Amino acid sequence: MRIGLVGFGVGGRLFHLPYIQAATEWTLAGVVTRSPERRAELAQAAPGVEAFDSLDTLIDAGVDVVVITTPPATRRELVLRALERGVHVVADKPFAPDAETARELIAAAKSAGRTLTVFHNRRWDTDLVTLRSVLDSGRLGAIWRADFALDQDDRTILDQGPDEGLLRDLGAHVVDQLTQLFGPVERVNAHLDWVGESEGEGAEAVDNRVDVGFALGLHHANGVYSAVSSSKGARREDRRMIVLGREGHYESHMSDVQTEQLLTGLRPNTDGEVWGIEQEERWGTLSVGDGPIRIPSLRGDYSEFYRDLHRAIEAGEEPAVKLSEALHNVAILDAARESAVRGVCVDVA
């Protein structure tokens, strides 16, 4: 099948192209980018792959799937247009600015009879894949609570605008991770770190603030409580996954392995023996009745998202990232923002 990439910014270059190239089930048919600089980068990263000026010209050239990686404000229109043109769609996260828009996109996919899914690639993070194996082993017993953090010292990469910010950026990823591990969320209490100012007063007030950090408390339907925080504005790097259970706890401080490997020149399609595996000194620790033990890193590989997508479309099945899950994640983010603004715990709709 043929796949096209719409947008070639940081997301398109680092988080999509290398993994599409590694998933050999796909043929990369083209990339939509009008920037001469981006076109030069494309020619170097993917020799022979054609650049297009628009989504429509890419579809006219013949594709089965398009991946929408453009900024969030442009995403709804492009997803709807691609579905209208009869192709399957991968939407980058955040899937939608709110649950109402998410439902609109889901309805459009159903009406078009095409697959729509969301790029929740961090389900294949090295630390999450390893943690999932620990949970599946049952050695922690019944799970009580979890503590996740994803802090990045990087103020340069942050979507701006009152409907964007870090909650809908990294927040979309970590909320998806926690719902995958511990199931649906019933209610949320949240705090957001704001920059910017509101304008006007009363009913005429316009909220121009954007969040650059968050701390969420997620109350899962099965009784597990998970706390998750993130910041891009506090000059701090931290990445932790801590899970407490009846029989002990697991703690991991692995790095963002795949991104760091990309930045050093490694690629998943050429460096498979080492790809997505954490260095031994950063392995997580499981502490139960027989004392602490180091848990070897499993392999994380975002290419699995695209391999799974190919299998699902070929078989006429739903991909691993289901629309019902993507909608629930957006509803959690809606509740979190409301909680932070009102200062109360909010039920997830």
Q: In what order do the strands lie in the sheet with 51-52?
A: 51-52, 27-32, 2-6, 65-68, 88-91, 116-118
Phi, psi (deg, nearest 5) at residue 255: -85, 175
- Give the global pTM: 0.95
CATH topology of domain 124-300+329-347: Dihydrodipicolinate Reductase; domain 2 (3.30.360)
Assign residue 219 a region (left: φ > 0; alpha: ψ between -120 and 50; beta: otherwise).
beta
- Which tokens is 225 given? 């409580």
* Separation of alpha carbons 333 and 126, rounded Å: 24
Tens digit of pLDDT at every position of the chain (349 positions): 999 999 999 999 999 999 999 999 999 999 999 999 999 999 999 999 999 999 999 999 999 999 999 999 899 999 999 999 999 999 999 899 999 999 999 999 999 999 999 999 999 999 999 999 999 999 999 999 999 999 988 876 555 555 678 999 999 999 999 999 999 999 999 999 998 776 666 666 566 788 999 999 999 999 999 999 999 888 899 999 999 999 999 999 999 999 999 999 999 999 999 999 999 999 999 999 988 999 999 999 999 999 999 999 999 999 999 999 999 999 999 999 999 999 999 999 9
pLDDT for 195: 85
Report the number of secondary-structure helices (H) and strands (E) in the chain: 11, 17
pLDDT for 319: 98
pLDDT for 48: 97
Burial annotation 91-113 (CB, 10 A radius, 16+ → b, else e) = bbbbbbbbbebbeebbebbeebe
The verdict on whether omega for the bond into residue 72 sits within 30 degrees of 0, i.e. cis, is no
Angstrom distances, CA of residue 340 to CA of 292, 335, 343, 345, 346: 38, 9, 5, 9, 9
Q: Which of 249, 326, 259, 324 has the alpha carbon at shortest distance from 288?
A: 249
pLDDT for 151: 92
DSSP strand pairing (116-118 vs 88-91): parallel
Which DSSP letter does residue 122 get? G
Q: Which of 230, 217, 224 has the alpha carbon at shortest distance from 149?
A: 230
The residue extents of the domains of the chain are 2-119, 124-300+329-347
pLDDT for 234: 86
pLDDT for 140: 98
Burial annotation 277-296 (CB, 10 A radius, 16+ → b, else e) = bbeeeebbebebeeeeeebe
188 beta partners: 218, 346
Q: In what order do the strands lie in the sheet with 248-252?
A: 291-295, 284-288, 248-252, 238-245, 143-151, 225-231, 210-220, 185-195, 346-347
CATH topology of domain 2-119: Rossmann fold (3.40.50)
How remote is the C-alpha of 170 from its chain's centroid?
A: 7
| The residue count for the chain | 349
* Separation of alpha carbons 104 and 86, rounded Å: 17
pLDDT for 244: 98
